[in-house]
Chain A
Amino acid sequence: GAGVSQSPSNKVTEKGKDVELRCDPISGHTALYWYRQSLGQGLEFLIYFQGNSAPDKSGLPSDRFSAERTGGSVSTLTIQRTQQEDSAVYLCASSLSRLNAEAFFGQGTRLTVV
């Protein structure tokens, strides 16, 4: 499709399990962002990839969180040993380049940790 695609759309997992969330950005977009939105909160920045540069990981809340972007395209956000406070909607976005901050968002993955 033409937009940012995220999978799964919903994920329920048990506390302590690992989860992987996937993002397919818009073809040709070099910048990719991960955000999360907890209930009643705004968009919290997690990590940002730009081309071949080292990612900006400054928003990752703990070392249980990591992300990769393979081949400058698809990205995977991994949360290890999930906790209940990890429950949120995880949003991925992409933009043409660092100089174009107009990012297009996917519909998000709703993660529920029980």
Chain B
Amino acid sequence: DQQVKQNSPSLSVQEGRISILNCDYTNSMFDYFLWYKKYPAEGPTFLISISSIKDKNEDGRFTVFLNKSAKHLSLHIVPSQPGDSAVYFCAASMNYGGSQGNLIFGKGTKLSVKP
């Protein structure tokens, strides 16, 4: 059963507009969340993360929001640029509790930013 879900396999956005990528999780023990970006034929690259003690983390054009009660997080990219076109993976981890340290990934959302 999937513990991290990205229900939208793809998203198309116009350049300059906001991209919102969503992620849901089922395990309340997750306490650290990350977003990765992946271009074809390359490994995923870390984008931004958030600890469960926060509800927002911002880095330039990228902002991650965490709603613990809803077990939901989202990545906002504004303004979107054509170079942002990639597959975005949401990941979760139990950093401070439990026995797991591995990252659990969603299936990804393919973002296309059109000029």
Tell me if A39 counts as interface (CB < 8 A to partner B).
Answer: no
- Contact between A105 and B45, CB atoms less than 8 A apart: yes
**Nearest CB in chain B: distance from A53 CB, A:** 9
Tell me if B13 counts as interface (CB < 8 A to partner A).
Answer: no
A53 CA to B90 CA in the complex, in Å? 26
**Nearest CB in chain A: distance from B21 CB, A:** 14
B34-62 with Cβ < 8 A to chain A: 34, 36, 41-46, 49
- Contact between A35 and B105, CB atoms less than 8 A apart: yes
Tell me if A106 counts as interface (CB < 8 A to partner B).
Answer: yes
**Nearest CB in chain A: distance from B89 CB, A:** 6
Tell me if B107 counts as interface (CB < 8 A to partner A).
Answer: yes
Cβ proximity bits A20-37 to B, threshold 8 Å, 1 near / 0 not: 000000000001010100
Tell me if A73 counts as interface (CB < 8 A to partner B).
Answer: no
- Contact between B101 and A43, CB atoms less than 8 A apart: no
Cβ proximity bits A41-62 to B, threshold 8 Å, 1 near / 0 not: 1111100101000001001000
A54 CA to B46 CA in the complex, in Å? 26
A104 to B, closest residue via Cβ:
B46
Q: How many residues of chain A are within 8 Å of chain B by beta carbon?
A: 25
- Contact between A45 and B104, CB atoms less than 8 A apart: yes
Given known contacts A102-B46, A105-B43, A42 and B105 CB-to-CB distance under 8 angstroms: yes
Enumerate chain A interface residues (CB-CB to B < 8 A): 4, 31, 33, 35, 41-45, 48, 50, 56, 59, 91, 93, 98-99, 101-108
16 contacts between A and B (CB under 8 A): A33-B103, A35-B105, A41-B107, A42-B105, A42-B106, A42-B107, A43-B105, A45-B104, A91-B43, A93-B44, A101-B95, A101-B101, A102-B34, A105-B43, A107-B43, A108-B43
List the 5 shortest-distance A-B pairs measured between CB atoms, nearest first. Answer: A42-B107, A105-B43, A43-B105, A48-B102, A98-B101
Enumerate chain B interface residues (CB-CB to A < 8 A): 6, 32, 34, 36, 41-46, 49, 89, 91, 93, 95-96, 99-108
